[in-house]
Structure formats: structure tokens, C-alpha cells
Structure 1
Amino acid sequence: MKKYFLLGCGLILMTASQAQNGKWQNLFNGKDLKGWKQLNGKATYEVKNGEIIGTTVIAEPNSFLATEKNYGDFIFEVEYKLERDFNSGIQFRSQSKPDFNNGRVFGYQMEVDPSPRRWSGGVYEEGRRGWLYPLDLNPTAQNAYKANAWNKYRIECRGPEIRTFINGVPAAHLIDPELPSGFIALQVHGIGKKQEDVGKKIHWRNIRIIENPAASQYAPYDSIYVVNNIPNNISAQEKQNGVRLLWDGATTNGWRGAYKPAFPAKGWEIKDGTLNVAPSDGKESTNGGDIVTTEEFSAFDLEFDFKLTEGANSGVKYFVTEKEGNTGSAIGLEFQVLDDEKHPDAKLGAAGNRKIGSLYDLIPAYKFGNSHKKVGEWNHGRVVVYPNNRVEHWLNGHLVVSYVRGDNIFKALVARSKYEKFENFGLAEKGRILLQDHGDAVSYRSIKIKTLK
């Protein structure tokens, strides 16, 4: 009889659990903080008029009111309002472990950012990697936040796919397998010792979640930019957006040596989904030589991950025509790939125009905080060439260079550069993409392209 009784209880519990899947559940009962716990800082959290109200206090680190339960795949919604502007956010799939910075909260955060940069709705990783989806990647969403009003946040997590929405506007789309589950938390950002920021309040209400929702319950795909941190992978929305792999992650298909009919027999290695320049003498194209795409491109959105070794130099060039027939590296506009600290080229040129992310020897890259990864870590580069000849360089989600091919400023920059001897430099209607062999060990992966019209 006992066995039957236990089995019956198990069936009842399983049925109750299944009944929760696909249905909205309130995470806040409107009366007290049952089901929540406070972590890290000592900002105050209280319940009034069916709302949770968080208040800043002086000299405390970031504070988090976290769910006692962890969540993996879900749809989450909350409304919030700031009484006065200050930074905050909604943690999700987050962790607090004794062996990580004495329990400091880390994990994904949907940003609340009313500052002039307007990144509310972007995705930040608290306590570790920093910005994963800064909202400069989706300017339309920068106008969705409502000052001095209630804002509605929605977070959708399905496997490695993370999507955020602010007041119904798609904000961020991230593919990242790093954190498959964790708690949800309401942040009151630390204010340091700024007395003028004491007592700032944020209100939350209508906090609810659907666990393990059906596919039909997720929002349909849209057309916003996707940050995909799975190597050599094209997500469903990227495919819908017209993005494809330019290197397949395994073979030399689609590539050949610059000025050569085939892929170099030496100097390049394909290993574990990476395309690697072999170290040699630190000089241009004296070992395997540069490689170029067999296709030519005019207007495009090019993405690539790259990893430097200490003191390394390389580059990603575009509008390469090979018509110059020169020795050394083939000629083209170049996204500089460089260890700025250890390679001497960083100190040459003018105003830093040979540093990482720059339009090499022409325009220096703007440096943001945390925009450069350490040597040995993967960086994400991006070059966008619009049909009107406006060009952008992006580094780890930050716009670092913007110019117009062929305008008077561009021509003046070329005239004072090492490229002045090349007729119509950088002005070809179309050209190839090039990865440079500069004799140093550099790795590439996740090379993707989208044709723009």
C-alpha cells in the first residue's frame, strides 16, 4: 500500500509540474517578498501598494533581490519605473557561488540605462564578461525606453537563444551557451559615496514567468542584428536575415592564396574549427601568404572572430582586387588586427591609426572601456559597407570607425598615407575579402557575411 501511495503522490506532483509549463505564474504575490532573497549589497527592498520598491543606499555594492528558484527556458515579464534616473537591471540565468568572488552575483542582465547612450534593453553580463549586446547594435530600440513612466520588459530564453523586448520593441538577440539556467533578480545599482544619489527608488510590479513555454509562445523572429557566440554557427534568425558562413569551419572551400590559384600548401592550419596563421618571421606574406575569398563583394556586412598571440600582427582587408601585383601583402582597405601593447606598429602611423580596429594607416579606432579583449581571448570584428559607400568598423559590439569611401576626407587621408602611390586606392566597385599572413600566430573563426542591397 505504501508503494502505491508514493507512486500516486509522484503522479500528482508530476501532473502539477506539467500544468505549470506553458502558463503564466506570478513571481511576486503583491504582499511580501516570499520566494525572494537578497544578495550582495544592502540596498532596501520593501513592498508597498502591490509593488516592490528598491532604494539606493550609500557605500554599498550592487544589490540583488533574487528568486529562490532557478529558471532555464522561460518567458519573463516585468514592469518597472524609475523615480529619478539611475542605472539598474534585471538579472536572469544568474549565479552566486562561494568560490566566485565571495559569492558576487554574475550572469546575464537586461539593462536599465536612462543615460544619454540609451542602452536600456541591452544585455550585459554582470560580474564577468561585461557587454554582450550593447544597444548601439540596434538603434531602433534605443528610443523604446519611457522616462518617468512604467516600462515593460520581456525576456525570452530558449536553449542558448536569448531575446529581450522593451515596451514591445525587440531590443537584443543573443546566442550564448555560457549560462543555461539561474535565478532572476532585481538590481539596485551601487552608488558609491555619492550623497546626491542616496534614496533613489525603482518600482517593480506585475512580475510573471512562463516556464518551458511551447515554441508557439515565443515571439516570431524579426530582422534585428544577432550576436552569436557559438563558433561557426548560423542561427535561425541570422539565416532569415541573409547571413551565411564565409568560411565553413572545416575546409579551404571558398578561399585561395592571394595572387595564387589555390590555397597555400603551408603557413595556414585548420584545427578545431579555427583558421590559423602559422608563426614565421613576422614579415608580410613570406610564409603561406595572404588568403582571399574566391567571391567578390561590393556592399556587405562582414563578421569575424580573431584571437591574437603576444606581439602579433594581422589584418582583415576588403575591396582587394590583386591588380597591383605588388610584393608583400595584397592591397586593400584594412581592419587592423594587432597586439597594441607589444607590436611596434601600434606606435607608427598617425594618431594611433595602426592600432586594433583602425582603418589601417588612415583612421584610428575609437577606444571604449572593455572594447578590447586580452591577448589570448577572442575578439569580434565587424566591417559594414553600405550601398552608399558609408563604412563602419565594429570591435566587440562597439562602433570604432566610420567613414565614407571616396569622399574628400577619405581622399585627403589616402594622400598622406602609405597608399598614396596606388591609383584609386580603396575605390573598387567590388573586391575580395583577405586574411593577412604577417608572420605571426593569429586565429580566426566564425567568418560570416551578409550581402547588402
Structure 2
Amino acid sequence: MKKLMNIGLLALLSCVVFSSNAQLTKQEKQDGWRLLFNGKNFEGWNQKNGEAKYEVKDGMVIGTTVANTPNSFMCTNENYGDYILELDLKVDEGMNSGIQFRSLSSPDVMKGRVHGYQMEIDPSDRAWSGGIYDEARRGWLCMPEGRPEAKNAFKHNDWNTYRIEAIGNTIRTWVNGVPISHLIDDETAEGFIALQVHGIYGEMKEGMQIRWKNIKIKTENLKPSPYDDIPVVNMIPGSLSEQEKAQGFSMLFNGKDFSGWRAVNSQEMTGKRWTAKNGEIIIHKSDGSETGNDIVTKENYSAFEFKFDFMLTEGANSGVKYFVNEDFDSGGKSGIGLEYQVLDDEKHPDAKMGVVGNRTLASLYDLIPSGDQNPRFKKKIGEWNQGRLVVLPDNTVQHWLNGFKVVEYVRKSNIYDALVARSKYAKFDGFGAADEGPILLQDHGDEVHYRSLKIRRL
């Protein structure tokens, strides 16, 4: 009798363990959730690309690194479009991994290479867990740079709850309830879900493991989470997402004409070489030495956040200026103001002038060089970059380039004044220190394209 009781107790405990890993609660079922992984085997899944080891144990999927094999993916047989996905995971320190979603694999594309969106699993010091990477396609799209609460959300040597909301063109991620990424993109509308074991590289070793459990999905009656204030990476040109609207952003360029813009030192818009076409503002190349046909916003701004996309042509030079003072005499050249440098560093000679690189791309022109730019995140000429300019009410100013903060300084501070005093702007009393001013797009005689100009007052 005692033996039977012990067997019964063991069976009950086994059910409890299994339930915690591979069963839904009554409330979850009522809310429309269903399991993607049955906790027993890989029914409904298939492995692609690499030869990493995948096994099922104690209701979990366990992935183990294997030497001399590329990235491996345990993929759902079914494709999914709009859904909310949640799962728990625990990863060894030093290992890199990810969760693929809306991903693809076709024999005629890179010989079947898995490609598509990935939610990052990154226990390294970089701390990009929850960021969105476009596997084997465009690379990094969203990283939690500049947000300590997001970078600290991941728990090391412990279980983490990951959440992905992919609804229409809006993709959002959370780690342990902390919002990490908000992407607006229309590259892929549906695809499979996959659990990645990264190929061994860097400090990784054979035998490292990652565990996944409680893998569930909801595909109907989807209700997006409330809007928050994390930065939105919007890859759809000229669009303003609902979260951007909720944050107070508006379009600074309507995509059709120059309403809201004028020539510098004029109330009229210049007709020289500026065109509005296909949602872009284009300054065309000069056929001579003529420059200085800058355009500025009709409104002035003090504390603000300005987002803009720009595309350089080979050897091109331009800039985005702010706190422009039209009372300063520019000698017929460009309007005078603080400048976010827009430049082909490789081909334009201005990159090698100034001091310690303070005229290179995204620098505070002639004052502060942009920080170390990982070449991996520097777009090629002819590709679109995403610029971001933040001016806080306390006069802290930040320059961002493709998701990285590359400059930070404080206007009107002693350090700022000292920098101005030894720059080309020393002769302009009060340079960059106005309480407000327009935003300027610079004509430097080269062809440069701008689009998706968005601004909010802070």
C-alpha cells in the first residue's frame, strides 16, 4: 500500500512538473492562447541549416552548441502572420541565441538560409537582449542603446520571459515585462517561428546550452499593449505610427511640397535646386560653386526631438542645423547654427579637416567628433541612414546615428563655451546659445536626399 502511495505521489509530482512546462491554464485557454510546443517531442517542428543538438527533456527544448556548424534553427512547420508569442528561456553565460519570427527559408534564396526577424538573446556585456535583428538580411534594426532599464531587464543565469507582438506592420518586444523594441516595418508579413542556437564564435564554446519552455501563441482577437515612451524605429518612409503620434511626433515634411519651409533669410521658399518628390526632399548637385541656398522651418524650436532619414551620394556634403541665428552674417554662405554633420567621410575632404575628426558624419560640426562608429552600422553610400537629434530642456544635446548615440554635450556650459572659442564660430557672439531657433537643411552643392522628417517638442 505504501509503495502504491509513493508511486501515486511520484506520478502526481510528474504531472505538476509537466503542467508547469507544457500546459495552459484555464484562463490562458479562455484568452485564446495555444501551445506551440507540446513538451514531449518536436511534433510540428523541423530543424534547418546547422547541426546544433536539440532535445526535449523535462518539458523543455534544450539547444546545445556543436563545433563546426553554422547557425541552427528549430522551426515551426506552420507560418504565422499576426500574433502574440510568449515563452520562457534560460541561457548559459557567454552564449548568443535568438528567437526567429516571421522568418523564411527557400531553396532559391541563399540556398535555404533562414532569414527574417529575430528577437535577440544576449547575456554579454553589450546587453542587447530583446533587440530586433534581421537575420541574414539587413542586420540590426532595434537596439536598446541609451536605455539602462531595457539593458538591465535580462536576468543572468535565470529564467526570462520573452514576449513578441507582431500585429500588422508593428513589432514590439518585452523582456520580463520591460519594453525593449518598437519597430514599424513591412519587410515580411508572415513566416515561421524558430529557436536559434548560434554557431560558435568569439568566446562561445562547444556544449553551451539554452533552454526554452512554456512556448505559447495567440493569433486571434489580438489587443496591442498600451503605448509607452520607448523610441520607435520606423522603417516605412513618410509614415507616423500610432505610438509616435501618442508620443507627440508630427511630420515636419508632408512628402509633397515645402509647406512649413522657407529659404534662410527669407519668408519665401527658394526655387534653387530643391525639390519635393516621392516623399523625399532632394537638394540637387550644383553645376558650379553655388551653395548657400539653405532652407529652414517656419517654426522655431527650443527643446525637441527630431528624427530624419538621409541618403548621401558619393562625395556629398550637407548638414542639419539647429538653433540657427539668421542675424549672423554668413557672408552669403550657409546659415549659422549648430550642425549635425551629413557627409561622405571617405570621399569628401572636409572629413579630414577640423580637429580630431570633428567634421565627420554625425559630429557636432567643428566642435565635437562623433563617437566610435562601428563600421557594421555605418550605411553605404546610396543607402538610407536614420538620424536623431535630441535637445532636452536642460540644454543637454544628443546626436544619434542608426541607433547609436554618437555625441552628447550641454549647450551654454563652460566646456561648450571653450569649444566654441577655439572653433570657426568664435566670431559669432552667442553662437548656438539662443533659447529657440529654426531647423535648417544645408545646401553644400551636392546631391543629398532627406525623408521621414518628424519632430516633437519636449
TM-score by length of 2: 0.90
Cα gap change, 1:283/1:183 in structure 2, threshold over 3 Å: closer, same or farther? farther
Q: Which residue does 1:46 correspond to in 2? A: 55
| Residue in structure 2 matched with residue 318 of structure 1 by the alignment | 322
Correspondences of 1:34-433 after superposition (within 5 Å): 34-136=43-145, 138-192=147-201, 197-211=205-219, 213-215=220-222, 217-281=223-287, 283=289, 285-286=291-292, 289-326=293-330, 327-366=332-371, 367-433=373-439
Preserved CA contact (<8 Å) 2:238 2:451: yes
Matched residue type, 1:429: D
In structure 1, C-alpha distance between the alignment counterparts of 2:426 and 2:109, rounded to whole Å: 53
Q: Select between 54-63 and 435-444 the one with higher mean Cα deviation.
A: 54-63
CA distance, structure 1, for counterparts of residue 361 and residue 56 of structure 2? 49
When residues 182 and 416 of structure 1 are mapped into structure 2, their CA distance, relative to the original with a 3 A threshold, is: same
* Matching residue's letter, 1:304: F
Letter aligned with residue 143 of structure 1: N
Instruction: Tell whether the 8 Å contact from 2:93 to 2:123 is kept in structure 1 after alignment.
Output: no
Equivalent position amino acid for 1:301 in 2: E
Deviation at 1:21, TM superposition (A): 12
Once residues 129 and 442 of structure 2 are traced to their aligned partners in structure 1, the CA distance between those partners, rounded to angstroms, is: 38
Give me the whole-angstrom Cα distance separating, in 2, the residues matched to 1:384 and 1:241: 14
Deviations 1:33-70 (A, max 9, x none): 11111112111100000000000111221111111111
Q: Which residue of 1 aligns with 2:25?
A: none
Aligned pairs (5 A) from 1:21-32 = 23-32=32-41
One-letter amino acid of the counterpart of residue 208, structure 2: K
TM-score by length of 1: 0.91
The alignment partner of 2:120 has SS state of: strand
CA deviation after TM superposition for structure 1 residue 330, in Å: 0.3
Report the residue type matching 2:343 in the other structure: L
Do the aligned partners of residues 36 and 322 (structure 1) sit closer, same or farther apart at CA in structure 2, a change above 3 Å counting? same
Judged with a 3 Å threshold, the aligned counterparts in structure 2 of structure 1 residues 137 and 430 are, in CA distance, closer, same or farther, namely same
RMSD, aligned α-carbons: 1.6
Report the alpha carbon displacement of residue 420 of structure 1 after superposing the two structures with TM: 1.2
> Can you list the C-alpha shifts for 1:177-212, whole angstroms capped at 9, x where unaligned?
111111111111111386x6111100000101112x
Range with greater deviation from structure 2 (83-92 or 384-393): 83-92
Q: Deviations over 1:144-163 (max 9, x none)?
A: 11111110001001111001
Identity of aligned residues (%): 57
Cα 1:22/1:283, change in 2 over 3 Å: farther
**Greater Cα shift, 92-101 or 141-150:** 92-101
SS in 2 for 1:320: coil
In the aligned structure 1, how far is the partner of 2:196 from the partner of 2:269?
A: 52
SS at match of 1:140: helix
How far apart, in 2, do the equivalents of 1:138 and 1:68 lie?
36
Please give the secondary structure, in 2, of the residue aligned with 1:119: coil
Question: What is the distance in 2 between the residues matched to 1:249 and 1:137?
Answer: 30
Spell out, residue by residue over 1:275-318, the C-alpha distance to the aligned partner (whole angstroms, 9 max, x if none).
100110475635xx000000000110001000111111100000
Q: Which runs of 5+ in 1 are unaligned?
A: 1-19
Inter-partner Cα distance in structure 2 for 1:208 and 1:284: 62
**1:449 is aligned to 2:455:** yes
Q: CA–CA distance in 2 between the matches of 1:41 and 1:166? A: 27
CA contact (8 A) 2:399 2:406 kept: yes
Separation in structure 2 between the aligned mates of residue 106 and residue 222 of structure 1, nearest angstrom: 29
1:391 is aligned with what amino acid? V
Retained in 2: the 8 A contact 1:282–1:440?
no
**Contact 1:284–1:437 (Cα < 8 Å) also in 2:** no
Cα displacement string for residues 207-226 of structure 1 (whole angstroms, at most 9, x for unaligned residues): 01112x324x3212222211
How big is the shift at 1:22?
7.0
- Which residue identity lines up with residue 126 of structure 1 in the other structure? E
**Amino acid paired to 1:202:** I
In structure 1, distance between residues paired with 2:414 and 2:49: 54
CA contact (8 A) 1:243 1:448 kept: yes
CA distance in 2: counterparts of 1:139 and 1:269, whole angstroms: 41
Deviating 4+ runs (over 6 angstroms): none
- Residues 430 and 141 (structure 1 numbering): CA distance in 2 closer, same or farther, change over 3 Å? same
Tell me how far apart the structure 2 counterparts of residues 143 and 355 of structure 1 sit (CA, whole Å).
32
Q: Is the 8 A contact 2:127 2:152 kept in 1?
A: yes
In structure 2, runs of 5+ residues without a counterpart are 1-28
